[in-house]
Amino acid sequence: MNGISVNTNTGAMQSLLYLDQTNAMLNTVQNAINSGMTVASAQDNGAVFAIAQNMRGDVAGYSSVSASLSRGTSSVDVALSAGQSISDLLIQMKSQALSASDSSLDTASRQALNENFQALLGQITSVVQNAQFNGVNLIDGSTKQITALASTDGTHRITVSAENMSLSGKIVTVATTGSISTQSKASTMISTVETSLTNVDSALAQLSSGASKFSIQATFVQQLSTALTTGIGNLVDADMATESAQLNSLQVKQQLGVQALSIANSAPSIALKLFGG
């Protein structure tokens, strides 16, 4: 047994050491409860914090990728909507040309049909010019393609080719000066419009395929981002039920430590009784 000494109180020093350890653990648990994380900074666990930070960087990167894909999707969606309008206009133009090709039609009626035809030509031009999103127009010939990010390192990208649907082009072969003012011109225009309609529908299919590529990649990126976010949570998030139980345990341990320290501190006073104090 240790002797009674007024100079060295071993019991008090040991009690104080254990109490300090308990207080340190209690502070750690309280920080975890306050922040909701067991690893909130590099001081908590440098290795885990570094891993979590790298993963957070990837998540931030995927946000940029998602934004790029969204812009690409929107640009293609606008082009698709405009292309569908052009297809509808071509159907109306075919109807006008077919009516104007009737040999029994009088001059005034054919002229009225031609005026409607010219108006439809103007609408196609208007649709083409206004089919842009974020400064990108995929159907007026101003750009060859649109590219979106597909990976966080920027090395992988998805590209969708543009489809020029302007008048007098390879897709819409109807000339800007197209007319159905005569029976002959109207008859010729029927096949021209039919060819243009077939080309536009084919171009729409190509654009739709591109939109699907963007959509599929966007879904995949979202899944990766969600998985990484969950992984970060598994690394650094605190289990509040466990932390609550630990807090209660440490609080009891702290109280017992204070009592033990109090008892140890009173031990030297026993020496007084040895001398009749």
At 269, give phi and psi (nearest 5°): -65, -20
Between CA 94 and CA 144 the distance in angstroms is 29
Is the alpha carbon torsion for 159, 164, 165, 166 positive or negative?
Answer: positive
Asked whether the beta carbons of 200 and 166 are under 8 A apart, the reply is no
Q: Which residues pair with 157 in a beta bridge?
A: 149
Q: Decide the pairing of beta strands 136-137 and 132-133.
A: antiparallel
**First-to-last CA distance in the chain?**
23
Total residue length of the chain = 277
Per-residue pLDDT 10s for the chain (277 aa) are 566 666 777 777 887 888 888 887 777 777 777 777 777 777 777 898 888 888 888 888 899 999 999 999 999 999 999 999 999 999 999 999 999 999 888 889 999 999 999 999 999 999 999 999 999 999 999 999 999 999 888 889 999 999 999 999 999 999 999 999 999 999 999 999 999 999 999 999 999 999 999 999 999 999 998 999 888 888 887 777 776 778 778 788 888 888 887 877 777 777 677 776 5
Residue whose token pair is 């729409």: 204
CATH topology of domain 57-235: f41 fragment of flagellin, N-terminal domain (1.20.1330)
pTM of the shown model: 0.73
pLDDT at 178: 93
Parse the chain into domains and list their residue ranges: 11-31+239-274, 57-235
Does residue 37 sit in helix, strand or coil? strand
The C-alpha angle with vertex 142 and arms to 178 and 177, in degrees rounded to 5, equals 10
For residues 201, 203, 69, 225, the Cα torsion angle rounded to the nearest 10 degrees is 60
Q: Quick check: 158 and 213 in contact, CB under 8 A?
A: yes
SS3 content of the chain, % helix, strand, coil (to 5): 70, 5, 25
